[in-house]
Amino acid sequence: MTHTDAVARVLSFSFAGLAGVAACGVCNAESVVVTGNATNGVLSLDAESYALVCPDGNCRLAGWDADEDPDRNTFEHGSVTLTGVRDDTGFFYGADHSNNFVDEHPGSGRVTLSDNRVELVESVASDVRGAYINISPAKSYESVSAERNTVRFTGHIPETTEAVSAGGAYVFVYGGGTGTGDLPKQLSVSGNRAVLSNVTGGSMLYDLFGGRVSTLPNRPTTELSAVGNAVEIEGSELDARSAYRLVFGGYAGSSGGKATVTENSVSIVDSTLHGADIQLVAAGVVDTDGDFTVSGNVVRLRNTTVEGDVYGGFHVTSGLYTGVGIDAGNRIEASGVNRVRSAGGFDTLVLTLSDVNVESPVLTLEDPLDLTGRTVRLTASNLKDPDALYECVLAPEITGLTADTMVYEGTLVDYAFEADILSEATGDTLSVGRARSSLNENAKTLSEVRLGTAAFVAQGAEFVADDGLRALDDALKLGDRQVFGVVTGGTSRYETGSRVDVDGVTLATGAAVRLGSGALGLFVEAGWASSDAAAGNATAEGDHDYFGAGVAGLWKLSDAWRLDAALRLGRSSTEFDGHFESEHAAYDSDGLYASVHAGVTRTMPLADTMRLAFYGRYVGVYLEGDDVRLTDEAASRYSADDVTTHAARAGLRLSGEGSRRFAWHAGLAYEHVFGGDASGTVEGLALDEPSLSGNTLIGELGLELRPEEDASWGVHFGLKGYGLDRRGVTGNVAVGWSW
């Protein structure tokens, strides 16, 4: 295709009204370059549109192209989306910095390509990258990085005649160039992803990587890093047909300098990678003669077959990806039923057992497995048969197993197993029998956060008994009817054996009316709170809320005696978010709540404007239980029992009036809480029961203001402090209008 033809075709295509194309040209006499919208770097094509732009194939697409702006060093949020497109010799990039290396343009500063992506729906090309950077050593860039770029394949991939390379990001310093500039001090890829979701058909990619950074021989750079990159394959079936098939999370290659490859991952779920030519699946790969660090890399397998070698960490020592595994700090995790050719490059093998492993091993290997110096860590998912024998690993030979090799632990439940290797004609099977199970210390965070909900609902009962009834009392002083609004907020720590911290805000609004020598009020209420708890190696946060309504009343038997009572009904919810040593678990629960209180007050005058009141009060609070599934790997079932709390309080309150516009009070009380146990079970095992039971001292100060002596409305400010088993402070504001 001639230059004129290429431009004419793309301009015709652009003016046809398809959004996204702003610039075009030729890469060489046989290829067309199409870039995204000049404002936002977005390009989207279907098969018909692509045929208009590039009828002969060999097309290069980029959301952003550095050739369009050679002085620009930062490109972000470029996007290329293709549907139903096949170009065996095409190049598709979210952002492309590959041709900006002419020696006439020296280059300087930092080059960063971030948050760019390519989305291929039933599409394929020869080279697909979320971000691609190819820098000449003639450039004098200080650093070059690609961050959080993504390639995603979905659907059926068309058959191709050429090998396909795809990855989240590729940063490369090539060997040519005649310039005299220094190499960048840093080359890095971080947080990039390659995702295959429900992909079938076609041939497997020549190589698939999350993030890749490299220089050619004799071009060492000071530091290379590949950190936190990932390959995610789910629900896919891929067939290897070329000489080499490579899948790696993070890769760094250099003839010298320092290379860091850490925290990269490969996750393959419900998928098959088959074909004898699969060379290597590795989470972290380094190819250098210099210093390097390869650790924290993990391969995760679930219900997957890989007809190739699987490594957590890998060091290329010669040839094309020939080398040795790096065990220290890297791991392989497997659950369900999986089959691979061989496994290496790990110091920890994490196997999650489930009932399906009574019949089939978690991991089947075609090559022998040596466990010398390695740890096999077992977790379990809902094991129903305590007498069953569970198959962990099947291999032609298993060696190096010792009593220290096997570690049995779960996120919440620890299982005790008896391990043995059974030798049969099919090979050695590492099997375990479940002896017993018990909850570990981490599980206590479930009931601690549950207790946070109970504590917050109980705080609402106290709020109504104190501040809500004060609004009713004002109705008797100022008029026959009143509307009021009250809000309180504060923080409290409950000593429960460990501790629970609850920070929350509660509000109520309602109306009250005088009824003879008493008053009756109706109100609606809502509250929002957060709590946190810690136990063992775990921390957890809870988000709590409740919404309800209630009725409250008081009756003056005489100037000295008063009775009061209230009833609340509503619904509460809790969102639990737990962080454990190597896992995360969450749940959402809902339940009804109710509370009731009854109190009596004896008031004594001390002077014309000062009174001393003694009061006693009982409060009962009920919180309904719930059954939920946690989001941990074992999908553990948590059953929370009902929580019932009883509290008895005795106190005194000194109050006075400076004028009809100003009043104050100060008080001291003692409260004993009994009950309030947050009991429950995980997988049928009883949790420790943290409790609200305990003793608390309460001190309070209050101030009431009115704008005029005969004003029909007023504002009340209050402050409380708590000590002993509950420690904290709350403040409140109440506004009432009477007539």
12-32 pLDDT, tens digit per residue, is: 333 233 333 333 333 333 446
Among candidate residues 563, 488, 492, 570, the one with its CA nearest the CA of residue 532? 492
pLDDT at 559 over 90: no
Segment 665-706, tens digit of pLDDT: 899 999 999 888 888 888 788 888 888 888 999 999 988 887
**pLDDT greater than 90 at residue 516:** no
- Residue 485, pLDDT > 80, answer yes
For residue 354, what pLDDT is reported? 84
The sheet with strand 186-190 has its strands ordered as 74-76, 108-114, 140-147, 186-190, 223-227, 258-262, 291-295
The span from the CA of 564 to the CA of 400, in Å, is 74
Report the share of the chain in percent with pLDDT over 70: 81
What pLDDT score was predicted for residue 14? 34
The C-alpha atoms of residue 365 and residue 351 are separated, in whole angstroms, by: 14
Average confidence (pLDDT) over 432-446: 74
- The encoded tokens of residue 346 equal 């790990």
The tokens describing 120, both together, are 């291929």
User: Computed from CA positions of residues 46, 47, 48, 52, in that sequence, does the dihedral angle turn out positive or negative?
Assistant: positive
SS3 139: coil
pLDDT tens by residue, 261-311:
999 999 999 998 876 666 789 999 998 888 889 999 999 999 999 988 999
**CA 380 from chain center: how many Å?**
22
For the chain, the average pLDDT equals 80
Q: Using 50, 70 and 90 to split pLDDT, how confident is the model at 147? A: very high
580, 442 Cβ separation under 8 angstroms:
yes
Strand ranges for 366-515 from DSSP E: 369-370, 375-380, 389-395, 398-399, 406-408, 413-424, 427-439, 481-494, 500-515
Which position has the token pair 């004993």? 672
Q: What is the 3-state secondary structure (H, E, C) of 584-646?
A: EEEEEEEEEEEEEEEEEEEEEEEECCEEEEEEEEEEEEEECCEEEECCCCCCCEEEECCEEEE
What pLDDT score does 1 carry? 34
Which CATH architecture fits 448-738? Answer: Beta Barrel (2.40)
Is 0.85 topped by the overall pTM? no
pLDDT score of 295: 95
Lowest mean pLDDT among 287-301, 472-486, 640-654, 691-705: 472-486
Checking if the pLDDT of 216 tops 70, the result is: no
Is residue 488 a contact partner of residue 732, using CB atoms and an 8 Å limit? yes
pLDDT band at 614 (very low <50, low <70, confident <90, very high): very high
Burial 675-696 (b: 16+ CB within 10 A, else e): ebbbbbbbbeeebbbbbbbbeb
C-alpha closest to that of 508 among 562, 544, 472, 554: 472
Domain boundaries, the chain: 1-184, 448-738
